[in-house]
Every structure is written in C-alpha cells, then in structure tokens.
Amino acid sequence: MAKIRVIINGREVLAPLGATVLEAANQAGIDIPTLCHHRALKPIGACRICVVDIKGQRNLQAACAFPISEGMEIETETPRVVAARKLILDMLFSERNHYCPFCEASGDCELQDLGYRYGIDHWVYPTYIREFGLDATRKYFVMEQNRCVLCQRCARACGELVANHTLGLRMRGAESMIHADAEVPFGESTCISCGTCMQVCPTGSLVDRRSSFMGRGDQSESVKSVCNKCSVGCSMQIMTRGGNVLRIESDWDSPVSGGLLCKMGRFDPLYDDRTRVTQPMLRRKGKLEPASWNDALKAIAKRLDDSEAKEIGLLVSGDATNEALYLAGRLFQKEMRAKNVGLISGATPDWIGKQPGTFNDLVGSDMILLVGANPAKDQPVASFLVKRLVDKGMRLVVVDDGENGLAPFAETTLKMADIGKALEMAGEVDRVAVLYGMGLTEKAAKTLKKLGKKAAYVALEPGFNTRAAVTLGMNNGFKASAAKVLYVVLGEQDWDGGKILQEAGEDAFVIAQAGYASTLTDRADVVLPSAIWSERSGSLTNTEGCIQMANRAVEPAGEAKPDWEILSLLADKLGKKLGASFDDISARAAKELK
C-alpha cells in the first residue's frame, strides 16, 4: 500500500494512505491516549481524549478517526491539547460514580490511568447524586451503570464483533444509558453471555462475577493458551493468581478468531462442577481402590502384554492434544498393531474429501451454505463470524433438518433432501463457502461436490482436536464387541458411551484415562487421572488445520498428569521408547499432522 509522509511532534513518519492519525502515531511509537477507541473496533471519536493539534485545522481533531494526508503536521501533547484532555477528564469524572477506592477495576482501569497521567487530583466539577443502578440479572457478569463512561465499546463489540446487536445506547446527553434490547434486564435480553463486552470495557462497568476483587491486572499472571471447547480453537489467556485460575480472557492477537470467545469458552470451564479424578485407581478383588501410578501402569502393561493385537480396543476423545493423540496412535496402532481404534464422538463424514478451506474463505465468498451443522450451539464463534458477514450483506442458506440457530439469519432454510435447490441458488453466484458438519448426508455431499472449484469447504468438526485425530488415522470403525482390553483416552470429555461398555461386555478389561468421574470411571478396572485444560500444555489442531500451542497455567489437581505424559509413562512400562521429551513428541506430532 502507498505510504505517505506526515510530521508528528516534529518527527517524520511514513504511514499507509488511509491510516488514521492514531495509527500513524502508534506505528512510530508515539503514544496518544485513548478511551473509547479499541484496536478491535472501528473508531467513532466519541470521547475526544485522543484530540491532537493538526496544522491548518481550526479545532483539535480526534486522532482515532482523523485520516492522515501528505505532509500533515500533527502535535500530540501541546498545552492546548493537554488542557482539552484535562477538561474532558474533569467532565468524565463529574458524571456518575468514578470513585476509585471501592471499584473492582481500580488499578486496572483505563479511565484511572488517564486520571493519573493528567494529574486529576480532585474533581473540578460537582458530581451529582443519582443512582444509575446495577444490573446483576446475568449469571456470569454484572453491568454497573454507575461506572460507565458511555464509550460504547460494549455496544460496538456486541454489534461489530459478535454481530449479536443486544447492546445499544438509549436517550441522549446526561440521560444516555447502555441498555439491552428494548430496555429489558440484561438477563432477559438476547445476550448470549460471550463476555466480549466485558473484555473491552475500559472501566469497572462490566465486571466478572467469579473473579471480581480477586486480583487486579498487575496482580495476576496471564498464560496464553487455546480454548478447547470446540473445533474453532480461539486463542485465550488464562489469568491466574497464586496457582488458581481467576478468569479467561480473549487474545486480540488470535490467529483464528481475532479475539473472540463465547460463553462456552470464557465461562463454562470455570463453572464446571463435575467431580475430578485426582488419583490413579486399580480394581482389586472387584473393588476400585486408590493405587500408585506405578502399580496402575504396571497392571495395564501386563494386561496389554498378555493380549493379542485384535483383542485391544482404543477409543480416544477428539479433545485430546496432538501429542496425546500421536502417542496413542504410535503406541497402540504402530507398536502393538491394534486396529480396533476409534473416536468417541466421531467426525464429520469424509465424503467431501480433503478440501482445504479456512474461515477466511468465508470473507471472500458471495454465499455461505451451512449444511448439517449448528454452529450457534456447537461452535458459537463460527456463528459470530457468519453473522458478521450476514450483517454486511452476505447471503446465507441453511440446509439442516433440525433446529438451527442461524436459520433466522438465512435467506432460505432448506431440508437436507432439498440440497439440489441449494445447489441451484449457489449457481447464481461466483464464490461459495460451504460450512458443513456431522449432519451432512452422502447425497448432499455428492451434490455439493458439483460446485467444483468455485466452492471452499470448511468442516465444523465435533470435539476440539478431531481433525488431528482423523489425520492420524484414529477414526476407522471402532467395534466395542471385539475389545477384550478397552483403553479409553477420555480426557475432559463427557462420557455417554453406556452402549459401548455394554457391547464390550462385563469381562472386558477397561482402562479409563479421564479428568472427571463418570460411569466409565466407575466401571473401569484402572483409572488414570488426567490433567484438564488449565493444567496441561499441548498443541491443538483446529478444524481448519491451524496448529496452536496451549500452555499450562496451573499445577494439575492431585496426582493428575497430562494425557501425553500418561501415555509416555505407559510406553516406558511396555518397554517402548516413543519420545524423549515433550518438545520432541510435539515436533513429531506436528510432522505427522502436516
């Protein structure tokens, strides 16, 4: 892109044509304070904190919204600019309750930072006595209207990023209020609790319930990781303090969704009330008893050694890390030559064949065909991406027999049997993106393949790491009845495989590698406690094939160990060396997944 020359504080800066003054300054390392502006949102120039002096302009201009032009001379911190910023701050502090000592965000607040930066040591204008109310009708976070500065970041995030359009601004001037839908309590609104508004709030107006007053930004540590609630694979930051997880925040540098998270990813992991398995257990004389790692692994190794390859069954969760899947594959399929291997939740049918498509392909398309998938429920962030495009005029056709969360946004909703009609509609446009899921039928797949090169196909896999498991050849028709020794790498997944246990029969030797207690761990002959999302490192492959590293933020509960480490220890007991270290295994897994 063409670059043009501007002069900021006497310094020559080259910036792309079309950039704003703020972008040009940031690029040159010149700090201009902002409040209503957020890097993920479009500028609206509402708060005017970023005003700068531009030669030739009669008034001060908002840097966040003012585009640069060739030779523009900009001053960012003149006495006139500073006086204007102070005036704005004095006015901001005069409205509502910005008294820091009893605010949750104190120490972690952009308004307070500005107060310090510009020496606001008292309130110049009288504040007024008025209760603006606090809305605590939502489960995960509260809206404290008294702390609101009306920057509208929340409402913009809700509309621009999540395309949910729940939040808005009503009334004008001092009467302005952020509200949900037609002024209903937030808990009764169309809010989907993705928490994006809370993440962008610069003050203590939107506050997480679970972690409030538990640690300010600088008192907590942040670990970059990857959400493992669905196959979109959003990056996230796990905030911890003193070895405890406080909350999950999104990561604006995320290569996948650019800083989005949903309720499933941001809140659900912290409200998980399933009982953890924290100790190895071994069935002795019919009774499941606590055991040492050594005894438990020895018992498994002995049993596996004594079994023939065709008696061994391996079931893995699509939520396990690449490393765990790789080791399970190496150990069971290559070393022990077991063929009875399967995925607990299956995968999308492979009738479409290998068609590399990414979420980015949605953007360049003229129409999205959503076939046999319900991302609004299963991969919410993918549904945000679709809704965002629909807002901009993208045509959406939903082909699904069941209830579909995106149906209200589609121009047409068809039954799977009418796939031919979808094909006809796709014929009207140049580029089509096909998002398909578990519900795709063989007939529909054959029809869709007729789209040929004009279509990009993106599968919405169930589970998190299912794509990796499929690539590693783990979805090849598991038969429970053939398994005399059944090894289940369940991890954090819920167990609903009662039928599998029934088919395997009472005599089968069942090994459960699981994070949570379930009917599987009750039935198992050996239980190995596995570490959960916050306690393990490992790479994860999302549904597009993008590999990201999830990092451990806290110590595993009790004696739990990461899945890859458990499999590695088991391999040792079986006398097989499968990898020297985590990095080694990780590199080997990545190589096989390429």
Closer residue to other proteins in complex, CB, 119/364:
119
> Smaller CB distance to other proteins: residue 109 or 341?
109
Residue in the structure block whose two tokens are 């005003």:
51
Among the listed residues 129, 169, 165, the one whose alpha carbon sits nearest the alpha carbon of residue 148: 169
**Phi and psi at residue 257, in whole multiples of 5°?**
-120, 10
Contact 386, 397 (CB under 8 A): no
Least gap, CB of 135 to other proteins (angstroms): 16
**Comparison of 118 and 533: residue with beta carbon closer to other proteins:** 118
The kind and range of the H/E element at 510 are: strand 509-514
Sequence-distant (≥ 6) Cβ neighbours of residue 81 within 8 angstroms: 51, 52, 53, 60, 75
Q: Which CB, 103 or 371, lies closer to other proteins?
A: 103
Output 107 or 185, the one with its CB closest to other proteins.
107
Beta carbon nearer to other proteins, 102 or 285? 102
Whether residue 244 contacts residue 257, with contact meaning beta carbons closer than 8 Å, is answered with no
Pick the closer one to other proteins by CB: 12 or 121.
Answer: 121
Nearest to 298 by CA among 53, 569, 581: 569
Q: CB 153 → other proteins: shortest distance, Å?
A: 21
Could you say which DSSP state residue 311 is in?
G
Q: Provide, rounded to whole angstroms, the least separation between the CB of residue 244 and other proteins.
A: 24
Give the pair of three-digit tokens for residue 59: 């008034």
Closest distance between other proteins and the C-beta of residue 276, in Å? 38
DSSP letter, residue 330: I
Q: How far is the CB of 107 from other proteins (least distance, A)?
A: 6
Cβ proximity to other proteins: between 100 and 177 the closer is: 100
Smallest separation (angstroms) from other proteins to the CB of 242? 22
CB of 566 to other proteins, least distance (A): 46
Q: Which is nearer to other proteins, 96 or 266 (CB)?
A: 96
Min separation Cβ 116 and other proteins, Å: 7
Asked if 94 contacts 149 with a C-beta cutoff of 8 angstroms, the reply is: no
User: Do the Cβ atoms of 274 and 519 come closer than 8 Å?
Assistant: no
Residue ranges that bind other proteins, judged by CB under 8 A: 97, 99-103, 106-107, 112, 115-116, 119, 121-123, 126-127, 129, 131, 146
Shortest Cβ 204–other proteins spacing (Å): 11
DSSP string, 125-158: SPP------EE--SSSEEEEGGG-----HHHHII
Q: How far is the CB of 141 from other proteins (least distance, A)?
A: 21
If the CB atoms of residues 177 and 423 are measured against other proteins, the closer one turns out to be 177
**b/e per residue, 115-124, with b = 16+ CB within 10 A?**
beebebeeee
Q: Which residue has the tokens 């068609």?
A: 355
Nearer to other proteins, 45 or 107 (CB): 107
CB nearer to other proteins: pick between 106 and 412: 106
Q: Least distance from C-beta 187 to other proteins, angstroms?
A: 23
- List all residues 6 or more positions away from 468 whose beta carbon is below 8 Å from its beta carbon: 322, 325, 540, 541, 589, 593
Q: Alpha-carbon distance 355 to 35, whole Å?
A: 44
CA distances from residue 482 to 145, 340, 469, 538 in whole angstroms, order as listed: 61, 8, 21, 31
Q: If you write DSSP's letter for every residue of 439-496 in order, what string do you get?
A: T--HHHHHHHHTTGGGEEEEE--SSSSHHHHHHTT--S---GGG-SEEEEEEETSPP-
**Residue 563 structure tokens:** 């899945």
The phi and psi torsions of 49 (rounded to 5 degrees) equal: -65, -30
Instruction: Please spell the DSSP secondary structure of 423-445, one letter per residue.
Output: HHHHTTSS-EEEEE-TT--HHHH
Q: Which is nearer to other proteins, 93 or 384 (CB)?
A: 93
What's the min distance (Å) between Cβ of 47 and other proteins? Answer: 21
Least distance CB 151 / other proteins (angstroms) = 20
Long-range residue pairs from 518-523, CB within 8 A, at least 24 positions apart, any chain: 518/274, 518/490, 518/494, 519/495, 520/488, 520/490, 520/495, 521/277, 521/281, 521/495, 522/288
